[in-house]
Chains A and B, each alone.
Chain A
Amino acid sequence: MTTLRQLAERLKPASRHAAAAPVAQRSDLTHEEDEALVARVQRGEIRAFDVLVDRYKQRLYATVYHMTGNHEDANDLVQDALIKAYKSLRSFKGQSSFYTWVYRIAVNRTINFLKRRKDRGHVSLNDVDASIETDPDYVELMSHVTPRREAGLTELQEKLNEAVQKLSDEHRAVVIMHDVQGMTHADIAKVIRCSEGTVRSRLFYARQQLQGLLSDYL
């Protein structure tokens, strides 16, 4: 694709060694570290960026999907974030990991998108993986004697998403990153560029709100 080549040429730094770098096949790059792949992309190898996209697309998609609650929006936002990352990779100095950097782009874009979006939009539920039935947390939750014990998985999923969507954008982002994605406070603080104390505080208030909203299931 000529256009992509032109774009790759535009991204090339003014390095004397750039032209001499051998272009590796995509399959050869899958075992390389992020830093090496980023360096390759900065030298103009777009295939290296494909490997990075392959590596992080699912995690990025999951986060953005949980924040928006919508397939189409999540897909568009992740693609936009990756395009933005590719175009800005020249300015990436490596002060944080590539994943944190691209994650920050995706989360910021999602928060901006949610602020622009007037209504909450419709929630399109993803299918639940069948392996959830064997998850000890799920088994334990369902085994509790609650008035809603008979609630099906779909109903539980709907209620859970409904409650999460009621949180403010900033609180939802923190809850998704910590409780769903399993990120640490420090990593979240790097992504959203705030202190760990702010992350803890947001988590605390978001959980309080969620406990109120999901009291029947707790």
Chain B
Amino acid sequence: MMKNMDCKKAQQLYDDLAGGLVAEPLATELRRHLDECTDCRVLRQRAVRLRQLLALKRYEQPPPAYFNNFVADFHRRLEADAMRPTWRQRLAETVRIEWTPLWRYGLAGVCGAVFALGFAWQVYRYAPAASPTAPATVVASAPVRSVPIPAVVPVAWHPEASRPQYVLERIAITPASYETASVRF
């Protein structure tokens, strides 16, 4: 048997108690709780009266003879519903009406696509070939090793280096300061 039933639990069981759905040990405990707890007793009275009030709505009836033509009205509506085109018929009708513009739009779209493809092909065909001097693609996977460059590189240090050539050495002329005087005064 449940001891010290709390009020919230009791409130949730009022309905079942009224309907005789609460098993006996619990029902006795619930009744005892209602006897002892004034708040719950008041709440239960209010709940019962609310149910009585709501039950009065059963007496709200439509005007007399309201249902006399109900079945006939049902048949009228059923007939009207059967006359209504199904969604397949509506779709077929829509497509039939809208077919010409749809066809035109489709053709225009196909023409546009063909033109765009032709243009793209021409652009691809006459595009300049890749230049051999173009920088090679950097392979990202290969690590780049930096080589320190000295500030002054000695020429002789280079294995293919030769003695520097000067322009004046190739011309068989003598500098003016070394000429002998050919004119005598």
Which residues 97-137 of A have a CB within 8 angstroms of B? 125-129, 131-132, 135, 137
Would A61 and B59 count as touching, CB distance under 8 A? no
Within 8 A of A (CB), among B34-89: 46-47, 49-63, 67, 70-71, 73-75, 77-79, 81-83
B59 contacts A179, C-beta separation under 8 Å: no
Closest CB in chain A relative to B78 CB, distance in Å: 6
Query: Closest chain B residue to A130 by CB distance?
Result: B59
B60 touches A125 (CB 8 A): yes
| Contact of A192 with B by CB under 8 A | no
Tell whether B141 is near chain A: CB-to-CB under 8 Å: no
Residue pair B57, A7 in contact (C-beta under 8 Å): no
Q: Are B54 and A200 in touch, CB under 8 angstroms? A: no
Do B61 and A160 have beta carbons less than 8 Å apart?
no
Provide the B118-135 mask, 1 if CB < 8 A to any CB of A, else 0: 000000000000000000
B15 on the A face (CB < 8 A): yes
Chain A: minimal CB distance from B51 (Å): 5
Are the C-beta atoms of A53 and B74 separated by less than 8 Å? yes
Closest B residue, CB atoms, query A129: B59
B12 contacts A by Cβ under 8 Å: yes
| Cα–Cα, bound, A72→B53 (Å) | 25
Docked complex Cα distance between A119 and B57 (Å): 23
Q: Is the CB of A204 within 8 A of B78?
A: no
Render A79-107 as a binary contact track against B, CB cut-off 8 A, 1 for contact: 11011001100000000000000000000
Main secondary structure of the interface of B (DSSP, over half): helix
Of the four ranges (under 10, 10 to 19, 20 to 34, 35 or more), the interface on chain A belongs to 35 or more
A141 and B48 CA atoms in complex are apart in Å by 11
Q: Establish whether residues B82 and A207, one from each chain, have CB atoms under 8 Å apart when the complex forms.
A: no
> What's the minimum C-beta distance from A79 to chain B, rounded to whole angstroms?
5
Which residues of chain B have C-beta atoms less than 8 A from A62's C-beta?
A: 58, 60
CA distance A50 to B72 in the complex (A): 9
**Are A4's CB and B70's CB within 8 A?**
no
Q: Which of B15, B19, B57 contacts A160 (CB 8 A)?
A: B57
Q: Are B59 and A131 in contact (CB under 8 A)?
A: yes
CB distance from B38 to the nearest CB of A (A): 16
Q: Which chain B residues border A214 with CB–CB below 8 Å?
A: 50, 53
Q: Cβ of A218 and Cβ of B49 under 8 Å apart?
A: yes
Chain A contacts with B in 11-41, Cβ cutoff 8 A:
none
Which residue of chain A has the shortest Cβ distance to B77 in the bound complex?
A79
The chain B residue sitting closest to A80, CB to CB, is B77
A180 touches B54 (CB 8 A): yes
Say yes or no: A71 contacts B62, CB within 8 Å: yes
Q: A4-B78, A53-B70, A58-B67 are in contact. Are A129 and B53 (CB under 8 A)?
A: no
In the complex, residue of chain A having the shortest beta-carbon distance to the beta carbon of B58 = A180
B125 to chain A, nearest CB (A): 60
Minimum Cβ distance to chain B for residue A54 (Å): 6
Q: Is A218's CB under 8 angstroms from B46's CB?
A: yes
Q: Which residue from A54, A71, A87, A137 sits with its C-beta under 8 Å from B52?
A: A137
With contacts A160-B57, A175-B54, A210-B54 known, what are 4 further pairs, Cβ within 8 A? A54-B70, A65-B60, A176-B57, A180-B58
> Can you list 6 contacts pairing A with B, beta carbon distance less than 8 Å?
A65-B62, A66-B60, A127-B63, A132-B59, A160-B53, A160-B56
Nearest 6 Cβ contacts at the A-B interface: A137-B52, A126-B60, A179-B54, A132-B59, A129-B59, A3-B82
